[in-house]
Chain A
Amino acid sequence: MIEIKSLSHSFGKKLVLDNIDLTVPDGTVLGIVGINGAGKSTLLRLLAGVYDSKGCVLYDGKSPSLAKTRKDIFFLPDDPYYTATSTPEKTFAFYKAFYPNIDKVVFDSLISKYAINPKLPLRSFSKGMRRQVFIALALAAKPKYMLLDEAFDGLDPLSRKIFKDAIIKLVEDENTTVLISSHSLRELEDFCDKFVLIDNNKIKNQGDIAEHVASMCKFELAFLQEISKESFEGMPIVSLEIKGRFATVVLEGESTEMRRRLESLNPAVMDELPLDFEEAFIHDVESERRE
């Protein structure tokens, strides 16, 4: 279990994370979301022990500042380290020095699935191919805690699928806890159990992704006359867009209840539209900005 208590971090005078509290149970796949510069990568670096933290981060009661604790952690940054002469094979050998139990079979199988030549230098690879190599390493290391920054960056849809399947299998087999930051929220929605939304240096929202998405509903309405914003007053509006006689509204609450309340406005047509995690995220951030 990962416990984060009163975690703060600044770069000089600029506060990046302020008093973060979070608990991540074992076997959880946690998506860390937020706009650019929100502090997602900084949070992952603090969790990985790259930065010294003000506050407390504990992995099963042990601090990541101890090298011993980091044996259970694999951190994959958004721009991983490799040298001019690094090849997938050499990179595997490098990580083998730190993770003696890293699984060559898993690595080779993923590398072949990604159709990568293990003898070619990484510098000759595209960004996505390099990402594939490091993802294969992370999965082969089979760590207890896996921290992935911008995990889907540069990956094609097929690679994403292979990656997601492998993560799901790893969590099932090894009970690995995965913390993953990404801007591809649709991808996160597929396999993350929980999410954390970071905005303005703080955790603004967290919980179960499915529950969070279900806590909002989106309707498209058509009226016989033009309608104004005032008509929606008193409703738990997350976002509202009006164009003449048409309105698109996202409300916070249970769908049936919201439908009933909207019916009181006598719309000519009312359709409920599906809402995904990405939209929920956008509405969350926008409502936060409005506040």
Chain B
Amino acid sequence: MKSYFKHQLKSYSRAIIIITVLMMIVSFFVAAESMRHERYTLFVKVGEKVYTSVEYSYNGEKNVPTRYHDGKGYVNITDEEIIEVSYRDLSLSYPASLLFLLAVAVPVWMFGFMKKKRNLDCFYSLPISKRETGTVQYLLGGIAAVIPFVCSYAVMLACNASYGLFGTLEHKYIFYHFLICLIAGFILYSLSCFVFEKANTVIDGIVMICVYMLLLYLLISNTEAITNKIFQIYYRLEYGEYIESLRPGTVGVAPRLRYLSFNEDNAMPFYFFEKLLNYLECDAEMIYVNYTSRYFGDSDLNWFIAWCVIGLLSSFGLIYGFNKKKAESAEESSSSIFCYKLLIPLCCISTNIHLGIFDSTETTSCLAITVACAVGYAIYRRGVRFKKSDYIVLGIMLALTVCSMFTYDLIIDSLPRIDTYSEIVYEVVAI
């Protein structure tokens, strides 16, 4: 394994160097562009005047500007005087974004060759186990994503330092930012590798990576909408009243406790990690008077833990799954349970129930989604010669679509209404 790793590292090194240099150049130009717009210059605006020579100190919680030089001498700053203090844009989100991009693209590069029967004939006959081959590619991919990121990150920090800003930052937050970038990169990379490896062709692999970046969001937002609707039906509330009932102090705690919110936006890894990194970047830049600490709530923390678990499971699943790979499956339809077989019905059913339960006018959308999913299924099966299990899956999809199309008219719309809000309040509180 060692000699294979060495050989592969050597053969990939040129490409890694080229990517690294390109990313460093991009980072440098992004930093230079930021500086051109003076986003890197710290200034305070007092009245109509702008002062760029500013001193600041650490007040026990954050760095705050204390004095500015008005050309004659230093003037102490008071909150009333300052109209605006500049944001210092460290632009650290650029190397992070590039890392995320690499994290989802590199698996295609590292594992793409394993989707060809011809290549597997060679690799699976060599004196190295499938797991070792896969693990070497996994590690190399990690290196191919991390090295360009680290170098471009260094370029960004060097550019910041060259403008004398580095010394005034909260360094620990830069370290946290860097660490979170690596963790996020690992999670995205492992998840992308895992789902790409489950596909049997490169195209399917790319589709899987794209789908999995949105899958959790789709499922959670649908689940959330459906469960909340069920709750709403349970309490027989009109939509406006339902929302009203969620306001603290309006009614008893019971309804609010039953209101499920998973902050479904966090189920999109790119969104979640960009948000998290933005918090940290702002924390590192905290220099302005009216600094409002960015909120990082329990839900975000839970999501961070959830994403870490997903990353670790993907990594273990990937390494464990290498030995299960079959050379015969390459170039065939991707029949893994992690691919179309499960995804298409899951997305179709959850979306249709979501749409159907809320409105009677979504019939066309429900049908369109079902037809699109059935076409997707036929593409996955490379034709319409379905197996018995396929007919069962498609039958369930169609049955649930029809059910969801009539749910609103037959069930929800026919529920008894309560006229006054006070009745609901009492009823809910009593429960």
Whether A98 sits at the interface, judged by CB under 8 Å, is yes
Check B58 for interface membership: any CB of A closer than 8 A: no
Which of the residues B119, B126, B328 comes within 8 Å of A11, measured between beta carbons? B328
Interface string of A35-76 (1 = CB under 8 A from B): 000000000010011111000000000000001111101010
Query: Known: A67-B132, A90-B11. Is A49-B118 also a contact (CB below 8 A)?
Result: no
In the complex, which residues of chain B have a beta carbon less than 8 angstroms from the beta carbon of A83?
113
Give bound CA distance, A50 to B327, whole Å: 7
> Residues 1-19 of chain B: 1 if any A CB is under 8 Å from the residue's CB, otherwise 0?
0011011000100000000
- Is A195 close to B, CB under 8 A? no
B297 within 8 A of A: no
Q: Is B427 engaged at the interface, CB distance under 8 Å to the other chain?
A: no
Chain A residues near B132 (CB, 8 Å)? Answer: 67
Residue of A whose beta carbon sits closest to that of B118:
A79
CB distance from A146 to the nearest CB of B (A): 12
Q: Which of B122, B124, B127, B328 contacts A71 (CB 8 A)?
A: B127
Bound together, the chains give a CA A50 to CA B118 distance in angstroms of 11
A67-B127 contact in complex given A93-B7, A97-B3, C-beta closer than 8 Å: yes
- Chain A facing B: main interface SS: loop
Nearest CB in chain A: distance from B47 CB, A: 64
A81 touches which of B3, B122, B127 (Cβ 8 Å): B122
Shortest B14–chain A CB gap in Å is: 9
Select A97's contact among B7, B118, B119, beta carbons within 8 Å.
B7
Complex contact B129–A67 (CB within 8 A): yes
Which residues of A have CB within 8 Å of B126? 70, 98
In chain B, positions 103-148 with a C-beta closer than 8 Å to chain A are 113, 118-129, 132
Query: In the complex, what's the smallest C-beta–C-beta distance from B430 to chain A, in angstroms?
Result: 62
User: Interface 1/0s, chain B 67-99, versus A by CB < 8 A?
Assistant: 000000000000000000000000000000000
Chain B residues whose CB sits within 8 angstroms of the CB of A49 once the complex forms: 124-125
Find the B residue at minimum CB distance from A143: B127
CA distance A11 to B3 in the complex (A): 34
Do A80 and B122 touch (CB < 8 A)? yes
Find A75's partner among B3, B7, B125 (CB 8 Å cutoff): B125
Inter-chain contact B128/A67, CB cutoff 8 Å: yes
A50 to B126, CA, bound (A): 9
B326 within 8 A of A: yes
The reply to whether B128 and A98 form a contact with Cβ atoms under 8 Å apart is yes
Contacts of A68 in B (CB 8 A): 127
A77-B122 in contact (CB<8A): yes
* Complex Cα gap A93–B11 (Å): 10
In the complex the two chains form, is B7's CB within 8 Å of A94's CB? yes
B129 touching A81, Cβ below 8 Å:
no
* Neighbour of A52 across the interface among B119, B120, B122, B326, CB < 8 A: B326
Quick check: is A99 within 8 A (CB to CB) of the other chain?
yes
Contacts of B4 in A (CB 8 A): 97-98
A69 to B126: give the CA distance in the assembly, Å.
Answer: 10
**For the complex, is A100 an interface residue (Cβ under 8 Å from B)?**
yes
Q: Which of A73, A97, A100 contacts B125 (CB 8 A)?
A: A73
| Size of the chain B interface, CB-CB below 8 angstroms | 22
Cα distance, A67 to B126, chains bound together (Å): 7
**How far is it, in angstroms, between the C-alpha of A123 and the C-alpha of B211 when the chains are bound?**
35
Bound-state CA distance A129–B126 (Å) is 22
Q: Of all chain A residues, which has the CB nearest B128?
A: A67
Q: How far is the CA of A51 from the CA of B119 in the complex (A)?
A: 13
Nearest chain B residue, comparing its CB with the CB of A50:
B124
A50-B124, A67-B127, A94-B7 known; A81 and B327 CB under 8 Å? no
Contact among B3, B118, B128, B326 for A100, CB-based, below 8 A:
B3
Cβ-defined contact, A75 with B121, below 8 A: yes
A73 to B123, CA, bound (A): 13
With a cutoff of 8 Å between Cβ atoms, the chain A residues found around residue B327 in the complex are 45, 50-51
Task: For chain A, residues 81 to 137, give those with C-beta under 8 angstroms from any C-beta of chain B.
Answer: 81, 83, 85, 90, 93-94, 96-100
C-alpha spacing A100/B4, complex, angstroms: 11
Q: In the assembly, what is the distance between CA of A81 and CA of B114, in Å?
A: 11
Docked Cα-Cα span, A52 to B327, in Å, equals: 9
Residues of B close to A85: CB separation below 8 A: 11
Q: Which residues of B contact A48 (CB under 8 A)?
A: 121, 124-125
Chain B proximity of A119: nearest CB distance (Å):
16
B118 in contact with A70 (CB, 8 Å): no
- Contact indicator B120/A50 (Cβ below 8 Å): yes
Chain A residue at minimal CB-CB distance from B116: A81
- Known contacts A67-B128, A71-B127, A93-B7, A77 near B326 by CB under 8 Å: no
Give the chain B neighbours of A50 by CB distance below 8 A: 120-121, 124-125, 327
Nearest chain A CB to B186's CB is how many angstroms away?
Answer: 27
Candidate in B121, B123, B125, B128 with the most chain A CB atoms within 10 angstroms: B125
Name the B residues within 8 Å of A90 (CB-CB).
11
Question: Closest CB-CB distance, B175 to chain A, in whole Å?
Answer: 38
A269 and B113 alpha carbons, distance in the complex (Å):
63
17-48 of chain A: CB within 8 A of chain B: 45, 48
Q: How far is the CB of B169 from chain A (nearest CB, A)?
A: 43
**Complex formed: what's the CA distance from A169 to B252 in Å?**
92
Q: Looking at the complex, which one of A45, A51, A52, A70 makes contact with B127 (CB distance below 8 Å)? A: A70
Q: Bits for A145-163, please: 1 = Cβ < 8 Å to B, else 0.
A: 0010000000000000000
Q: Which residues of A contact B6 (CB under 8 A)?
A: 97
**A70→B123 CA distance, assembly (Å):** 11
Q: How far is the CA of A165 from the CA of B328 in the complex (A)?
A: 34
Complex Cα spacing A153 to B328, Å: 23
Of B113, B118, B124, B127, the contact of A98 (CB 8 Å cutoff): B127
Which residues of the other chain, B, contact A93 by a CB distance below 8 angstroms?
7
> In the complex, what distance in Å separates the CA atom of A282 from the CA atom of B318?
49
> How distant is the Cα of A97 from the Cα of B122 in the complex, in angstroms?
13
Report chain A residues within 8 Å CB of B121.
Answer: 45, 48, 50, 75, 77, 79-81
Could you tell me the distance between the alpha carbons of A18 and B305 in the complex, rounded to whole angstroms?
A: 51
Q: Report the bound CA distance from A75 to B124 in whole Å.
A: 10
Q: CA separation between A97 and B3, bound complex, in Å? A: 5
Chain A residues, Cβ within 8 Å of B3 = 96-98, 100
CB within 8 Å for A81 and B123 given contacts A93-B7, A97-B4, A100-B3: yes
Contacts of A94 in B (CB 8 A): 7, 11
What would 5 more interface pairs be, CB under 8 Å, given A70-B126, A71-B127?
A48-B121, A73-B127, A77-B118, A94-B7, A99-B127
A-B contact pairs, 8 of them (CB 8 A): A67-B129, A73-B125, A79-B118, A93-B7, A94-B7, A94-B11, A98-B126, A100-B3
The 6 closest A-B pairs by CB, nearest first: A81-B122, A75-B125, A48-B125, A77-B121, A97-B7, A70-B127
Binding site for A on B (CB under 8 A): 3-4, 6-7, 11, 113, 118-129, 132, 326-328
